[in-house]
Amino acid sequence: MDFLAAVTDVVGPANALTSIDDVAPYAVDWRGSYRGTPLAVLRPGTTQEVSDLVKRCADAQIAIVPAGGRTGLSGGAVPSANGPPSVVLSLERMNRVRAIDPRDFSIVAEAGCVVQSIQQAAADVERLFPIQWGAQGTAQIGGMLSTNAGGIRTLRYGNARELVLGLEVVLPDGRILDDLRRVRKDNSGYALRHLFIGGEGTLGVITAAAMRLQPALKRVETAFVAVPTPDAALSLFGRMMESGADVIAFELCGRYCMEMAARHGVGLRMPLPLDSPWFVMVELAAAHASIPLREIMEDALAAAMEAGDVSDAAIADSEAQRRMIWKIREDYPECSRKDSAAVSTDTAVPVSAVPEFLRMVERDLIARWPEGRISAIGHAGDGNIHVSLHAPHGMTDRPAWFARAGEAEAMVNAIAVSLGGSFSAEHGIGQSKRHAMATHKDAVAMDVMRMVKTALDPDGRMNPGKILP
Ligand SMILES: Cc1cc2nc3c(=O)[nH]c(=O)nc-3n(C[C@H](O)[C@H](O)[C@H](O)COP(=O)(O)OP(=O)(O)OC[C@H]3O[C@@H](n4cnc5c(N)ncnc54)[C@H](O)[C@@H]3O)c2cc1C
């Protein structure tokens, strides 16, 4: 039996896609920056089928590129253009919630569950699945875990890694690693799950995860705030953190980002005039309805205004207004994509260093590319700021702008690292940041990573060309 017949035998013809039209969506990444040519797209429906497919790929020496919702921003879910023959293994059909227990605040979900559906499943039993970001309606649990996604609530609940109790993983040799425990405490040796979380499919295929839930939020207050400087935003952050409420989101947005959102967003209404250089979106929450959150928010904002840290603020008066604030934030990446070609970054620095980081970035980028336009937006409450250098108005030729300004990424990364930060905060390495690994990652860490990779995947068949330079 040839290879395609062997894998079709496992999943059936309807789930072994080979026609150009069927394969096309899996052959390009969200940004349109990376393209590959998979032999087929395989869509298993069970863990056993994943295991059987992985074994048949091993027999035929075919590489495997796992794919979730394909919203990743580093080109991880697309076969490398010059890589070995490969298939895309899409987990989309594995979308069952296997168990949910509000008493022990846990959920066991298959890798192909869309993140938003897990938020809903948790809400249905009065619990919160706290991960939230713009692509949650498409991204899947497997992709979320494999990139160790962050989002707007990392500040309060941690990134994806911190939610995981246990994992089920198909290893590169096809064996099933069943570590799907729902307990918080398990010190029985190495915590293997952490190798696969953030592993971007290079060590195995995540098929299911046991994850922690939180108490449902009974009260939420959200404000859109104009601040004069990032330093003022940092002072406001301190006030909010000391306010006694849970600060579940604290986003810093440059005016240029808000202008792009206003220009390209569909149905977006800005809560304030865009006449401030910086804006903050802040959300306070409580798991009990009696907490006077509105008062806490108003007091903190009034004190910040008094101190000159806030020039204007709009507190959402309704759920619709609250949703509008987050829609602006969540729709921003798409608006930015529509606006112009941009060299983008995914850096993190200590929260206290955010203002200095932004000063250094602006100074150095403007000095080198005075014709470029800088946008900065991010999860300031956890120090993760996305800086982009956009092409001048009217310049839509992406490759031309990258040829001219591509080095901006290395410049921004170097500034973040010099301030004690990271060049890869939440999007992963994929294909796009492999060169930065070579520059910034500790040599011993790289050596250990290679040893782990070789031990688990000696033939290098799991997502080749990703993470390791
Ligand atoms: C509009 C927009 C906003 C975003 N905002 C944020 C944000 O705020 N924070 C953030 O962290 N990210 C953000 N992202 C990036 C992206 O949504 C996340 O990286 C997400 O976690 C990717 O999930 P996915 O299912 O789409 O994964 P994919 O893109 O399909 O895959 C990502 C990586 O995981 C691997 N993978 C996928 N599934 C599995 C599996 N089951 N087993 C093993 N490996 C697997 C793939 O091979 C690939 O390397 C945003 C993206 C968009 C488009």
Domain-located, residue 227:
yes
Instruction: Say if residues 324 and 262 touch (Cβ distance below 8 Å).
Output: no
Q: Is residue 462 part of a domain?
A: no
Residue-wise pLDDT for 151-201, tens only, equals: 999 999 999 999 999 999 999 999 999 999 999 999 999 999 999 999 999
Cα 349 to ligand 1 centre (Å): 22
Q: Is 465 in the pocket of ligand 1 (CB under 6 A)?
A: no
Do 342 and 375 form a contact (C-beta atoms < 8 A)?
A: yes
CA of 302 to the centre of ligand 1 (A): 39
Tell me if 427 CB under 6 Å of ligand 1. Answer: yes
CA of 385 to the centre of ligand 1 (A): 18
Let me know: does 305 contact 235? Beta carbons within 8 Å: no
Residues 166 and 141 in one domain: yes
Q: Could you tell me the maximum CA-CA distance found in the chain, to the nearest angstrom? A: 76
SS3 110: strand
333 with 344, same domain? no
Among 31, 96, 147, 339, name the best residue to mutate to test ligand 1's pocket (greatest count of ligand atoms within 8 A of Cβ): 147
Among protein residues, the one whose CA lies closest to atom 8 of ligand 1: 151
Q: Is 77 in the pocket of ligand 1 (CB under 6 A)?
A: yes
Q: Given 215, 232, 261, which residue is the final one in a domain?
A: 215
Cα(70) to ligand 1 centroid in Å equals 6
Residue 360 sits in a domain whose CATH number is 3.30.70.2740
Name residues whose C-beta falls within 8 Å of residue 68's C-beta, 6 or more positions apart in sequence: 77, 90, 91, 92, 111, 112, 139, 140, 141, 142, 143, 144, 146
Asked if 315 and 228 sit in the same domain, the reply is yes
Whether 126 and 199 map to the same domain: the answer is yes
Domain end: 215, 239, 261, which one?
Answer: 215
Short-list 330, 306, 325, CA closest to 315: 325
170 in a structural domain? yes
Question: Is 147's C-beta closer than 6 angstroms to any atom of ligand 1?
Answer: yes
**Any idea which residue has 């863990």 for tokens?**
47
Q: What spacing in Å lies between the alpha carbon of 345 and ligand 1's midpoint?
A: 16
Neighbouring CB atoms inside 10 A of 366's CB total: 14
Under-70 pLDDT residues of the chain: none
User: Token pair of 100, please?
Assistant: 């949910």
Residue 465 lies inside a defined structural domain of this protein: no
CA of 293 to the centre of ligand 1 (A): 33
Q: How many domains does the chain have?
A: 4
Q: Are residues 85 and 123 in the same domain?
A: no
3-state secondary structure of 147: coil
- Asked whether the beta carbons of 163 and 212 are under 8 A apart, the reply is yes
174 Cβ closer than 6 Å to some ligand 1 atom: no
Kindly report the CATH number assigned to the domain that includes residue 147: 3.30.465.10
d(CA 347, CA 342): 15
Written as six digits, the tokens of 409 are 């990424």
Residue 142 CA, ligand 1 centroid: distance in Å: 8
DSSP three-state, residue 314: strand
353 Cβ below 6 A of ligand 1: no
Q: What is the dihedral of CA 181, 184, 185, 187, to 10 degrees?
A: 60
- Nearest residue by C-alpha to atom 53 in ligand 1: 71
Is 180 within 8 Å of 108 (Cβ atoms)?
Answer: yes
Contact 203, 297 (CB under 8 A): no
> How much distance in Å is there from the Cα of 234 to the middle of ligand 1?
29
Distances (CA, A) of 121 to 95, 126, 128, 241, 444: 12, 9, 9, 30, 42
CA of 273 to the centre of ligand 1 (A): 33
Is 421 a domain residue? yes
Residues 228 and 210 in one domain: no
Which numbered atom of ligand 1 lies nearest the CA of 427?
A: 19
Measured CA angle at 376 (ends 406, 248), to 5 deg: 135
Whole-number Å distance, alpha carbon 200 to ligand 1 midpoint, is 9
Q: Is 176 exposed, middle or buried (0-12, 13-18, 19+ CB in 10 A)?
A: middle
Instruction: Judge if 389 and 291 occupy the same domain.
Output: no
Whole-number Å distance between alpha carbons of 246 and 155: 10
Q: How far is the CA of 299 from the centre of ligand 1 (A)?
A: 38
| 333 shares a domain with 258 | yes
- Can you list the alpha helix ranges (DSSP code H) found in 274-341? 293-306, 319-339
Distance 434 CA to ligand 1 centre (A): 17
Look at residues 168, 188, 215 and tell me which one is the last residue of a structural domain. 215
Does residue 426 have its Cβ closer than 6 Å to ligand 1?
Answer: yes
Decide whether any atom of ligand 1 lies within 6 Å of the 38 Cβ: no
CATH value at residue 231: 3.30.70.2190
Report d(CA 323, CA 376) in Å as an integer: 22
Residue 257 CA to its chain's centroid (Å): 19
135 close to ligand 1 (CB < 6 Angstrom) = yes
Among the residues of 341-458, which ranges form H helices?
A: 354-368, 398-405, 407-418, 434-440, 443-456
**Could you list the residue range(s) of the whole structural domain that residue 78 is in?**
3-90
Q: Which atom of ligand 1 is nearest to the CA of 66?
A: 47
How crowded is residue 171: how many other Cβ atoms within 10 Å of its Cβ?
Answer: 17
Closest ligand 1 atom to Cα of 72: 29
**Is 463 a member of any domain?**
no
> Is 108 within the bounds of a domain?
yes
Say if CB 279 and CB 224 are below 8 A apart: yes
**Contact 433 CB / ligand 1 (< 6 Å):** no
For residue 338, which amino acid is it? Answer: K
Distance CA 364, CA 391 (A): 16
Is the model's pTM score more than 0.75?
yes
CA nearest neighbour of 225 among 205, 247, 201: 247
19/39 Cα distance (integer angstroms):
10
Look at residue 397 in the predicted model and tell me its pLDDT.
84
Confidence (pLDDT) at 393: 81
Q: Report d(CA 63, CA 135) in Å as an integer.
A: 27
Q: Tell whether 351 and 398 lie within a shared domain.
A: yes
Cβ(76) to ligand 1 under 6 A? yes
**329 and 228 assigned to the same domain:** yes
- Answer yes or no: are the C-beta atoms of 162 and 131 closer than 8 Å: no
Q: Are residues 122 and 160 in the same domain?
A: yes
Contact 388, 402 (CB under 8 A): no
What's the pLDDT at 396?
Answer: 75
For the CA of 141, the nearest atom of ligand 1? 25
Instruction: Supply the DSSP string of 184-213, one letter for each residue.
Output: S---SS--THHHHTT-TTSS-EEEEEEEE-
Query: Which residues are within 8 A (CB) of 162 and not within 5 positions of it... i.e. 6 or more apart?
Result: none
Which residue's CA is minimally distant from atom 9 of ligand 1?
151
Residues 317, 296 share a domain: yes
**Distance in Å, CA 144 to ligand 1 centroid:** 5
**pLDDT tens column, 409-422:** 999 999 999 999 99
- Report which residue type is found at 264: H
Q: Is residue 38 part of a domain?
A: yes
